[in-house]
């Protein structure tokens, strides 16, 4: 079976993991810092829930915080690829561009 014969969901390069981790995202353009929750994480990106909308195409610095107070589990530069309003907040899809540290 070729890649084209698989369903869309099976074509992903990385498996997604459902999580609920504190997330802070820092914008490069003006240093504004936002907090939210990371809902899904994969090797290529993440799905986050925020109270402030992001702009598609914008690059942000993302730090996934440990629930035990340790240094960030993930520190990366990411591109906003999708934003949609939901339940009074916003869901955003981020593509990981580079790992920092």
Instruction: List pLDDT tens digits, range 15-40.
Output: 667 777 778 887 877 788 898 988 88
Instruction: Say which CATH topology domain 15-99 has.
Output: Thrombin, subunit H (2.40.10)
Using pLDDT thresholds of 50, 70 and 90, give the confidence band for residue 41: confident
Name every residue whose Cβ is closer than 8 Å to that of residue 43 and which is 6 or more positions away in sequence.
13, 14, 15, 96
Check pLDDT > 80 for residue 12: no
Token pair, residue 85, equals 């309003």
pTM listed for this prediction: 0.77
Beta strand segments in the chain, E? 17-27, 33-41, 45-50, 59-64, 74-86, 89-99
């Amino acid at each position: 079976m070729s890649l084209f014969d698989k369903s869309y969901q099976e074509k992903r390069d990385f498996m997604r993991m459902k999580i609920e981790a504190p997330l802070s995202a820092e914008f490069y353009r003006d240093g504004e810092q936002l907090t939210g929750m990371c809902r899904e994480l994969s090797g290529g990106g993440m799905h986050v829930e925020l109270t402030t909308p992001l702009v598609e195409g914008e690059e942000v610095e993302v730090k996934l915080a440990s629930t035990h107070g340790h240094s960030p589990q993930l520190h990366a530069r990411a591109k906003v690829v999708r934003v949609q309003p939901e339940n009074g907040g916003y869901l955003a899809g981020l593509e990981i561009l580079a790992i920092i540290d």
